[in-house]
Amino acid sequence: MQALQRFFNFYLNSSIHVALAAVSLVWITLIERGLERDMSLMFFVFFATVTGYNFVKFFGVAKFHHRSLAGWLKVIQVFSLLAFLTMCYFVFYLEVESLILIGILGVVTFFYAIPVMIPKRYLFDDYKNLRQIGGIKVYVIALIWMFVSVFLPVVNQKEPIGLDLIILGLQRFCFVLVLMLPFEIRDLNYDSLKLATIPQKIGIKKTKIFGGLLLLVFLVLNYFKGDLKSEIVLSSIIIAFITLLLLVFSNKAQSKYYSAFWVESLPLTWLLLLLLLG
């Protein structure tokens, strides 16, 4: 049982779970757009997500404690290195236009983790990274996920970017933003007030109302698409309802797996629903 628990913790801490969520959203986009499964891109997104998330999560720890790292963190470092090398392999299977978009997103991710010099009148210190700038963390994450899961799959198959795709991008931005809210509620006891997270600014109750409104926008946007498919609408309604339930029941004292596993499982659940309904 302890071995299973350690494996499960490694599965979460090494960002495998969140990487599967990212791949699920890419796959959902391919299904909705009627595009072929792009396995090279999905493998790239998986390993890039592992690399990016572990870099963001463990950069500071590795930087200052590299000689005395805990065993599990060393394993994650080795795993992340292998993921990075595998990601580089799949780069050669992507289109040039995709690489340009990936390069831009890579720069944003880098500055999300690495402190840079920013004038004091904007921040509370000389050196801050993007996630430490008050009030923008969740929006940066939602934008990155939107571009990776919606625009990158389409760009890589050289499909045109029309109004329907822009609407899909807005939907995905709203959905990912809602997924971030239980994490923000969980971290209320730990986040500095200077981060100005959504629950810090408007409170837990209003945060849940805000999330509910975003899910309503997420659903309504379906009806502005030119090609509306019944399975897309039905799966959207079901996943919006499940997401709302998880948001409503989130709190500061939630279990360590509530957000890290259950909330991050929502994209996988959505993909499963779509495959079953299709």
**Helix/strand/coil (H, E, C) string of 178-211?**
HHHHHHHHHHHHCCCHHHCCHHHHHHHHHHHHHH
Domain count of the chain? 1
Report residue 61's pLDDT band, with 50, 70 and 90 as the boundaries. very low
Q: Return all residues near 103 (Cβ < 8 A) that are at least 6 apart.
A: none
Stretch 37-54: mean pLDDT: 94
pTM over 0.85: yes
Average pLDDT over residues 33-56: 92
Residue 226 clears pLDDT 80, i.e. is over it: yes
Q: Which two tokens stand for residue 260?
A: 């890290």
Q: pLDDT tens digits, residue range 111-144?
A: 766 655 444 444 444 445 455 565 677 888 899 9
Assess whether pLDDT exceeds 50 at residue 270: yes
Residue 26 belongs to domain spanning? 2-277
Count how many Cα atoms sit within 13 Å of the Cα of residue 185 in the half-sphere of its side chain. Answer: 30
Tell me what pLDDT residue 131 has: 56
